[in-house]
Every structure is written in C-alpha cells, then in structure tokens.
Structure 1
C-alpha cells in the first residue's frame, strides 16, 4: 500500500507541474488522483492497524498512516480552497513522509527489525 501511495503522490506532483505548465486539463486529473491518494491512505491505515494488532508489528505505521490521511484531507481542502501557501508546502511534506515510509517498507526485514 505504501508503494501505491508513493506512486499516487508522485503523480500528484507531476499533474500539478503539468497544470502549471499550461495543460489545464491536468487539474481535473490532479483532483481525481487526490481522491485516489486519500483512499489509498485509508487502506494503508487499515493495513498498518492489522500489522500492529494482528501481526505483532510496530504501532507507528498505523499512526503515521492515519496522520498521513488527515494531512491529505487537509491538503485536498486547501487545494479546493486555492490556499496555495499551505497546499504546496503541505504537499512537499506529505511526499517526504511517504518517501520515508517507502524506505522503511522496502528495507530488508532484518534491518527493519533492528530499527524498530
């Protein structure tokens, strides 16, 4: 799920860049992709809870995913409100957080266990 979330988030940045380059139809795709990104964050949160509660894994992926969803909900609201002074830096922060989660997910399991 983290990999899907990362792909959608990078797509958001690409679609925003496309819109800013004058391809105005990209804004509709940016809005659609925002919905997909938010839904993926919900599923990622559920996966994090299952990892934690049933799999005996750490709790932080569940909590981080829930916070990520909250940030994305705020991000969507700021985008529709055209509050770009919040929307753009929040988007960068969201992508950075997803990148950190992606690194954690794709680390070899032994290294992940030591880090946790």
Structure 2
C-alpha cells in the first residue's frame, strides 16, 4: 500500500508540473512555483526508491519496482538539470514521458502488497 500511495503522490506531482510551467510563463511568481513543483517531484522520487526497497526487502518479492524507481529518479535528476539549463526541447517531452511512465507504473501496482500470512486459502487445521 505504501508503494501505491507513493506512486499516486508522484503522479499528482507530475501532473502539477506542467500547470506550474504555464504559470511560469504568465505570472511573476511562476518560476518559484515551478521550482517548488520540480523539487516536490524530486522528493517524491526519493521516497519512491525508499518505498520500493521497503516493500521488496521484507516480503522477498521482485526487485523490479526498485529498478523502475531508480531509473525514474535518474530521469527526474536529468529533468531538473535540463530545466535549469533551459533546454525546453528535451525538458518538455521528457516531462510528458515521465508522467506517462508514472501512470503506467501506478496501473501495474497492486492495490495491496501481497503478504504470505494473509492468503485467502489456508489449509484446514486438524481438530
């Protein structure tokens, strides 16, 4: 559940980024708002890596969500660097790609993490 909540926050933060980018172009405080949005995505990406590790480690599940989270954090760092450098021709499409990736990962994440102790089928115990 923790991983899913983190992915929801990540997707919402990514959804807010282009809104603040529009404000960047139209209001005096737009740069500050977009910067806050970018660093929110960065913070949530770090929390996402931590959540993926915490979900994987105790349960012994697949480490694939960790790989995704680390790649996403790398893309976030690249996105921030491109934004600071003003390379909009790559910054904007990368932001769209990241939002799509986040939605896809969210759709693939189960609503509840599997816990072996809570299986729906358990053999009957002898009386």
Give TM-score, length-normalised by structure 2. 0.77
1:12 is aligned to 2:20: no
Structure 2: gaps of 5 or more residues: 1-5, 115-127
Is 1:81 the counterpart of 2:80? The answer is no
Unaligned runs of 5+ in 1: 111-116
Stretches of 4+ moved more than 2 A in 1? 17-20, 105-110
1:100-115 maps to which residues of 2 (within 5 A)? 100-105=104-109
Higher RCO (Cα < 8 Å, 6 or more apart):
2
Distance 2:82 2:103 in 1: 22
Matches within 5 A, 1:4-43: 4-20=9-25, 22-43=26-47
More helix by share: 1
Aligned residues: 109
User: Who is 1:113 aligned against?
Assistant: none
Normalised by the length of structure 1, the TM-score is: 0.84
Task: Please report how far the alpha carbon of residue 109 of structure 1 lies from its aligned counterpart in structure 2 after TM superposition.
Answer: 6.8
